[in-house]
Structure 1
Amino acid sequence: MEWNVYQTGATPIRRFSRNRPVRRRRGWWILLAVLITAGLLWSIVAFGRINSAVTTSPMAKADAGVILGMSMWGDEPSPGLKERLDYGLKLYKSGAFSHFVVSGGLDHPDYKYTEAEGMQRYLTAHGVPEEVIILEQKSTSTYENLLFSKAVMQQEGLSTAVIITHDFHGRRALEMARELGYTNPELGVTTSEVMSMFKYKTREILAYTKWKLQQLSL
């Protein structure tokens, strides 16, 4: 409280003022408005970056196509993961790379196959020789997909890669690959016909924001 002192004869009279609490409340509202505005502006920036990802063109031939994992539906890749696999197959058949690295761990303890194993089975069923498919089966996030895939590539003597994913996911994946020291990483992105872009792009704004904060500590 703020006290004002008045003189009445020889005896001071103190009266308190409520101005300070009002000013404090106004300050909190201003701070909240600033934070909301900053959040909206960042969301616009992040959304623009997310939508900027395109397949590298022209694409130099790489050693491997790294397909980033997505959920399994029981023993089969989910429809979204099949889109990534089909695009990877298209690039492979065009000669963009000579090996696959399929990356992803076990979605559920009751599942029979990891994401990597499910992708391997799908690729071999579509005519890819098993010996050109390298599995990375420990990862549980995009960052781990790329970190662990780089390690298995080094073990196999592979150095360059095309990162294969969906377009809304491509910007973050490419930034991570560069941060992890991939050699001139290229990007292969496909659009989705089976997933809700409102849902996945909204989630990607949050994931991209988390990544940019994580990047500050790397």
Structure 2
Amino acid sequence: MQAVMAVETAGHTRGRRLRRLALRIILAAVLLTVIWVGYLLWVINRFDPGPVGESYDAGIVLGASLWRDVPSPGLRERLDHALKLYEEGRFDTFILTGGYGGVRSRLAEAEGMRNYLLERGVPESDMLLETTSTSTYDNLLNSKAIMREHDIEKVVIITHEFHSARAYDIARYLNYPDADLSPAKSEVVPEHQQQPREVLAFTKWKIDSLLLKLGLRLPDF
């Protein structure tokens, strides 16, 4: 009888230890997650691209979704910001980058962007299109190939403020030779949607950048 009780007591003790260990692991994971999210929010919100330069060879507009072949409100914000820089004479060539436009779109993002700018008086000769990318990484990787092909060196990257820190991090990873950022402030994407989504995307980029260095995968975001 005593032997049975001893076995039961030992079992209960092991059970308590396992529960405590599991609780500690969960608490540590929660704490690390909070620290990581806080760090990324700090990176995203404190990122300062600095003043835009006076002259660039080209402006790279990072793609976003189309709505029935027409730029979504968010993408229009990027295009309008890029158009303002173009009209100020900051650059004379657009690099429009983006592939799959969306479920109800037949055009690539870059093609929808081109049509939008054509309607606003930009000649087609001032636009270079990249129509295969499906991620920010691909946007910048494929744009770099266009830059080499057309002897373009100095560029300004146009995206949204909330996206700028990640875009800059990817550009640095890809060893962009001479790139600045000129972010557009979003009035159509609510802030409570911007930051959680960007924290997730930035986390995925950090994981995928590590995997890329190890030669294990390409990012798809």
User: TM-score if structure 1 supplies the norm length?
Assistant: 0.90
Contact preservation (8 Å) 2:159, 2:184: yes
Aligned partners of 1:54 and 1:189 also within 8 Å: no
1:58 to 1:75, Cα distance in 2 relative to 1, 3 A: closer
- Distance across 2 between alignment mates of 1:116 and 1:131: 14
1:167 matched to 2:161: yes
Q: Which runs of 5+ in 2 are unaligned?
A: 214-221
1:186 aligns with 2:176: no
1:74 alignment partner in structure 2: 68
Q: Deviations over 1:124-173 (max 9, x none)?
A: 21121211100000000111011111111211111221110000000000
Match of 1:35 in 2: 29
**SS class of match (2:186):** coil
Which has the larger strand fraction? 1
Any conservation in 2 of the 1:53–1:168 contact (CA below 8 Å)? Answer: no
Distance 2:36 2:106 in 1: 41
Helix, strand or coil at the partner of 1:97: coil
How far the C-alpha of 1:184 sits from its partner, in A, is: 2.2
Instruction: Indicate the SS of the match to 2:33.
Output: helix
Q: Tell me what 1:83 maps to.
A: 77
CA separation in 1, counterparts of 2:48 and 2:142? 24
Instruction: Indicate conservation of the 8 Å contact 2:99/2:110, yes or no.
Output: yes
Q: Higher helix share goes to which structure?
A: 2
RMSD of aligned C-alpha atoms?
Answer: 1.7
One-letter amino acid matched to 2:88: S
Kept in 1: contact 2:155–2:180 (CA 8 A): yes
Would the alpha carbon gap of residues 78 and 44 (structure 1) be closer, same or farther in structure 2, given more than 3 Å must change?
A: same
- Whether contact under 8 Å (2:101, 2:109) holds in the other structure is yes
Partner of 1:120: 114
Aligned partners of 2:177, 2:54: CA distance in 1, in Å? 12
Deviating beyond 6 angstroms after TM superposition, the runs of 4 or more aligned structure 1 residues are none
Question: Structure 1 residue aligned with 2:197, among 194, 203, 211?
Answer: 203
For normalisation by structure 2, the TM-score amounts to: 0.88
Displacement, 1:56? 3.0
